[in-house]
Structure 1
Amino acid sequence: MSRIASAEYPTAALRLMDGFSLEMTGKDVAGLEEAHASTPPGTRINVTFLGNEDLEMRIGAAAAVARAGFVPVPHISARRLSSQAQLEAFLARLQAVGATDHVFAVGGDPARPEGPYPDALSVIRSGVLQRHDVQEVAIAGYPEGHPEIPNDVLWEHLEAKHAALAEQGLATVLLTQFAFDTGPVMAWIREVRSRGIDAQIRIGTPGPAGVKRLISFARRFGIGANAMIVKKYGFSLTNLMGTAGPERFIGGLAADLDADPDAGDVKLHFYTFGGLPATSEWVSSYVGDIQRQETA
């Protein structure tokens, strides 16, 4: 469906791809440099906040993104913060390298909070973000739910975070977990809009990667990956040796969005499971293919 859908809806596919964002870890500055040539200037690049990274890695990566002419979107992992002082110090360092305009506030993985912030909402409500010139905050969305958080709680927190940011004069972006199936994604987008939230939505999309790796991440994050879904996406559970890209997913999503005028502003965010350079090069090639289809 991917190439067919893109050929049938080239304008919708290009609109969806325009302004895509990428993700990197604090350790992947070398990958960022390798991906530079295939990444459009001004591209948003999220910088993770993982347990095996330290402050200098995170700051160094965010600074490298800014120096390269891209827009850094550093992650703030609430449950990994040991104190307000640590949050203040992190934001001050980011501010010094020009990397606080856009941030992504997320709860994070630890089962128990390491400090005073049990979730992203508590970070937002602290007022600390405003003091460091944050202009826009991305918050997490889960089209297929969260393996450990009930859906009603997810929606309650999404609405509360959006409202708190609006009260503080900060813009909101909804950044979703990755998906293999456009059905739950479109249903989630419609639910977001029905709740009066008109913020930009960035749909998490796995960049090209090994099938085993994709399934491993899917299981970790509670993403649907049964035989029917992965066949629709473009790979088979019985053949795990190859790689898979998101062509079908993107083509299908572009077609669905073209048919739904109320979906609002929707973009793509690529999780770089197969590496930042490989993902950036794939996106560049895919966009080129669509442009050629449109002018053929």
Structure 2
Amino acid sequence: MALLNFRKCDRAGRGSAGQTAGRTAQLAEFVRGYSIEVMPKTAAKIADFRALLPAGTRVYVAHLEGTPIGDMVATARRLTEEGFVPMPHFAARSIPDTATLADWIARYAGEAGVREGLILAGGIPTPKGDFHSSMQLLETGLFDRAGFVRLHVAGHPEGSRDIDPDGSERNMMAALGWKQAFAARTDAEMAIVTQFAFEADPVIAWADRVRDRGIDLPIHIGVAGPAKLQTLVRYAITCGVGPSLAVLQRRARDVSKLVLPFTPDAFLDDLAGAARRRADFPIAGVHFFPLGGIATNTRWLAAHGLAPAQDS
């Protein structure tokens, strides 16, 4: 994954001032308690995360292929020291063997106080060693023995050709069912965090299908943070975002909008409105991919009433 209906961002300006304020408050309430993602390279450019994020924010630490584990652990340690909750990625296909996995878990726990992890297969096509799936990592029992209390796993609202080459959801749903059973037989707190998308209705429909399968793990929807349109298109193609890419393509056809940043207002408005209307709304939270930069993402959040001083 590392894993929105970004339609016209001026839509929030329509209607009366009271209606606009109501939508802003509704969006802020839905987003409150969000998580966000960083990489060691980008984290090194941030002088102090406390100036950007609410205390206690969960910060995923993305482990891109080739990043030294020492850099990952140092980033997690810094986040812990600054008052945040680091959740490093454990990508199965990038981990050569059980001994390496045990060493990484021990270093995160011992040196950085980490007790949470995002467990995923990883984006490289050929495994570097013994593991090819997140389920294999979970089955080792190493996270439990190291005192990890929260384990998140990946979800793909628009499907994944890597998981289901035939374009179905069969393997993906089976894997989520396995993880549901794993959560039931262990004491790990688990949730699903999804790849980003660009339309609310298909995301909600996917979450409903997950629930219909009897999978009740909390679902945290991936949201691409504010960024240039070209940046979003590049990441969407790289990350395998498919059907909702049409939203970006429609935007690209309007030359007047190419120079404007694309923001998640409309997507989150749609999700927040659906959450308010439905007592059984299947989405529990929001995870930001700051594709335009973490400072840009957090400025957008602050403009929507989610400033660093708030409670998380």
TM-score, with length taken from structure 2: 0.85
Aligned to 2:86: 72
Aligned to 2:124: 110
Counterpart pick for 2:154 among 140, 148, 157: 140
Q: SS at the partner of 1:27?
A: helix
Query: Which moves more between the two structures, 35-44 or 64-73?
Result: 35-44
2:212 aligned with 1:219? no
Aligned to 2:52: 38
CA contact 2:226–2:262 (8 Å) conserved in 1: yes
Query: Which moves more between the two structures, 3-12 or 280-289?
Result: 3-12
Over 3 Å counting, the alpha-carbon distance change for 1:283 and 1:11 in structure 2 is closer
CA contact 1:21–1:45 (8 Å) conserved in 2: yes
CA contact 1:146–1:221 (8 Å) conserved in 2: no
TM-superposed deviation, 1:221: 2.2
Structure 1 gaps, min length 5: 290-296
Q: Distance in 1 between matches of 2:241 and 2:305?
A: 26
Aligned to 1:173: 191
Q: Distance in 2 between matches of 1:108 and 1:275?
A: 22
CA contact 2:24–2:304 (8 Å) conserved in 1: no
Q: Provide the aligned C-alpha RMSD in A.
A: 2.2
Identity of aligned residues (%): 27
Over 3 Å counting, the alpha-carbon distance change for 1:2 and 1:222 in structure 2 is farther
CA contact 1:104–1:137 (8 Å) conserved in 2: yes
Q: Distance in 2 between matches of 1:244 and 1:206?
A: 9
Aligned to 2:103: 89
Query: Which moves more between the two structures, 105-114 or 223-232?
Result: 223-232
Q: Distance in 1 between matches of 2:48 and 2:300?
A: 13
Query: Which moves more between the two structures, 189-198 or 131-140?
Result: 189-198
For 1:135, the aligned partner's letter is: V
Task: Map 1:1-296 onto structure 2 (within 5 A).
Answer: 1-2=11-12, 7-10=21-24, 12-150=26-164, 151-224=169-242, 229-230=247-248, 235-239=251-255, 240-264=258-282, 266-287=284-305
Q: SS at the partner of 1:248?
A: helix
Query: Which moves more between the two structures, 148-157 or 92-101?
Result: 92-101
For 1:267, the aligned partner's letter is: G
TM-superposed deviation, 1:171: 1.1
TM-superposed deviation, 1:97: 2.9
CA-to-partner distance for each residue in 1:223-257, whole Å, 9 max, x for gaps? 2366852378xx43453443211111111111122
TM-score, with length taken from structure 1: 0.89
Q: SS at the partner of 2:192?
A: strand
Query: Which moves more between the two structures, 174-183 or 92-101?
Result: 92-101
Query: Which moves more between the two structures, 220-229 or 193-202?
Result: 220-229
CA contact 1:201–1:266 (8 Å) conserved in 2: yes
For 1:69, the aligned partner's letter is: G
Over 3 Å counting, the alpha-carbon distance change for 1:68 and 1:9 in structure 2 is same
Q: Distance in 1 between matches of 2:283 and 2:32?
A: 11
Moved runs in structure 1, 4+ residues, more than 6 A? none
For 1:15, the aligned partner's letter is: E
Query: Which moves more between the two structures, 221-230 or 256-265?
Result: 221-230
TM-superposed deviation, 1:67: 0.9
Q: SS at the partner of 2:305?
A: helix
Over 3 Å counting, the alpha-carbon distance change for 1:29 and 1:230 in structure 2 is closer
CA contact 2:158–2:242 (8 Å) conserved in 1: yes
CA contact 2:36–2:287 (8 Å) conserved in 1: yes
Q: Distance in 1 between matches of 2:12 and 2:184?
A: 37
CA contact 1:210–1:242 (8 Å) conserved in 2: yes
Q: Distance in 1 between matches of 2:20 and 2:207?
A: 21
For 2:277, the aligned partner's letter is: A
Aligned to 1:293: none
